[in-house]
Structure 1
């Protein structure tokens, strides 16, 4: 029985590992260059990098298509805009979501998208409805809902219920492969982390199948099944020794009654700040980040700071920008030590 179980796990690992061959790290590198060009306002160069990246991976991440569409609007590349929008529709992103974004006005200023809205988007949306594994999607939604129900109601057998839930997720991955955007889409928006991942790790089942899910999630990240910005949070939870440092920018919010005794800390309350880490720590986390294809921390931090001031683009995923509530001076000082205020932000 054990032999059969590990054979199945190995089969899943092979499926995940072989999905994009050796090209996913190259893909991540091209996307990083494209995003850095955006930070430098070199949209033509960014557009070129995005095109190169999309040649490497025919089913890229939704956030990359979204950013590329904005870049294409700046350089008036209609074909790339339509291509990116069509891919977003094929991943399940709703037109209503796109219209709510700040960037939509940029598209409307330069192009008449009425035909795309009325005809083309609906056609691509139908592709999503045909190609998406909704059975798997519903099963994953049920796993998340069950996880939340257990946490809220605190059943006498909560521990066993959690284990059963995790086992079901394990079984689904063994049958269908890792639930990538290509397999289940992204839902109605781009920023939401896949909910089923919350059930992998919780306080009631710490350590249960952590190694199995860590290996699967890591391989899935390296080979383009899930974005590093999404998986990083769970990778560090499943294996605390695999540090990646997710939060690049944060704000400390305190109660009105809390009085900070030192002016240096007081000036940083309710302000966006970024942490300054020692070089040896940066080297440690950057080694791990490089392993999964993620940009180095300072580059990532630079992108998050840019995103704070210009939210047309999507750079920060799943916690890169955070707000912490601190009700004691000691905790607030701990967070506000060795940080720099980001000027001209709210």
Structure 2
């Protein structure tokens, strides 16, 4: 049994016994744990992703104390946590009525891109607390510190590329010719940006994380990947995975386009003059727009690939997405 498991068991025991002495012991164990983890490499993001999943599953199981203790462990593993994880940790602590922790998690999140709009949307009870008043007073200075850490010139250029990517796909004003030209320019410009950035992806450490659509969205910049060729995406894959392992990019930002560009057709049916294809995906993150269900081409292979890039097991992922999946190879 590792020390994290010991803390989790202690939390559960304290919940059952409501023992003040046990709670003091728990606090001592958490302190020891966090001290030990601080000695680990600062960029231990694979372990971070694993701990975040443990916390989220505990939250789903309504083990809010356990979830909070695991969030604390996860945040000490890395130099910069992800803003959505900070937000979810604050939502969890709000359920414990621990507004001081909520305040601390939100401060951490604001420093990595969390906005006031997202906070207001997700938290209700906390907004009635004194800590919320304090956070509102501090927000502008925290936000400014975050923005000063970014290359805003590069960020604005990339956002314009994303805007162009979307505008040429407008049903009226867009066209196939415009799409082809824009996608070619965006891909080649991205290669130049990566070269200028010492061979690294321009991730959240450089340009920030401005995605407002939640943790499982594929990100504001990586949306361009959906419109490159499969060969071009696979060419970028090693760079994308390096960014994930260094914490510069969320695994979900990459998994979704990788699945989208590697969909496999498993059956076809014809209705009138239209042919409908049923597909499976490789990693297990692409959900069709008309269905919350997914078909995984090979579940055993998918589990291995997911683990390599910090994604949780399929069962956990689809539970958190309130969805289901089927293993095609097992039919």
Moved over 6 A (4+): none
Provide, for residues 166-188 of structure 1, a one-character-per-residue CA deviation record: whole Å limited to 9, x for no partner: 11012112223323223222227
Tell me how far apart the structure 1 counterparts of residues 230 and 298 of structure 2 sit (CA, whole Å): 26
Asked if the contact 2:71/2:89 (under 8 Å) is kept, the reply is yes
Deviation at 1:22, TM superposition (A): 6.4
Tell me how far apart the structure 1 counterparts of residues 258 and 42 of structure 2 sit (CA, whole Å): 22
Deviation at 1:123, TM superposition (A): 1.6
1:246 to 285, 298, 301: 285
Tell me how far apart the structure 2 counterparts of residues 171 and 222 of structure 1 sit (CA, whole Å): 22
Q: Structure 1 residue 210 and structure 2 residue 233: aligned?
A: yes
Q: Structure 1 residue 198 and structure 2 residue 216: aligned?
A: no
Tell me how far apart the structure 2 counterparts of residues 293 and 120 of structure 1 sit (CA, whole Å): 33
Gapped runs of 5+ residues in structure 2?
1-40, 265-280
Provide, for residues 212-263 of structure 1, a one-character-per-residue CA deviation record: whole Å limited to 9, x for no partner: 21221222223322222222111224455881111579865xxxxxxxxxxx
Tell me how far apart the structure 1 counterparts of residues 61 and 82 of structure 2 sit (CA, whole Å): 22
User: Alignment partner of 1:300: what SS?
Assistant: helix
Counterpart for residue 139 of structure 1: 157
Counterpart for residue 108 of structure 2: 87
Q: Structure 1 residue 148 and structure 2 residue 166: aligned?
A: yes
Q: Structure 1 residue 121 and structure 2 residue 139: aligned?
A: yes
Cα distance, 1:73–1:156 mapped onto 2, change above 3 Å: closer
1:105 to 124, 135, 147: 124
Deviation at 1:158, TM superposition (A): 5.1
Counterpart for residue 232 of structure 1: 255
Provide, for residues 20-74 of structure 1, a one-character-per-residue CA deviation record: whole Å limited to 9, x for no partner: 7761111111111111110111111111111111111121111100011112223
Root-mean-square deviation over aligned CA pairs: 3.2
Deviation at 1:161, TM superposition (A): 4.1
Deviation at 1:208, TM superposition (A): 4.8
Counterpart for residue 261 of structure 1: none
Tell me how far apart the structure 2 counterparts of residues 39 and 157 of structure 1 sit (CA, whole Å): 45
Q: What is the TM-score normalised by the length of structure 1?
A: 0.66
| 1:26-37 alignment, distance < 5 Å | 26-37=47-58
Tell me how far apart the structure 1 counterparts of residues 185 and 51 of structure 2 sit (CA, whole Å): 40
Asked if the contact 1:73/1:110 (under 8 Å) is kept, the reply is no
Tell me how far apart the structure 2 counterparts of residues 220 and 141 of structure 1 sit (CA, whole Å): 19
Cα distance, 1:94–1:28 mapped onto 2, change above 3 Å: closer
Provide, for residues 122-159 of structure 1, a one-character-per-residue CA deviation record: whole Å limited to 9, x for no partner: 22111122212211111111211222344443375753
Q: Structure 1 residue 299 and structure 2 residue 316: aligned?
A: yes
1:285 to 284, 299, 302: 302
Deviation at 1:164, TM superposition (A): 2.1
Provide, for residues 307-330 of structure 1, a one-character-per-residue CA deviation record: whole Å limited to 9, x for no partner: xxxxxxxxxxxxx79xxxxxxxxx
User: Alignment partner of 1:91: what SS?
Assistant: coil
Tell me how far apart the structure 2 counterparts of residues 297 and 86 of structure 1 sit (CA, whole Å): 31
Counterpart for residue 94 of structure 2: 73
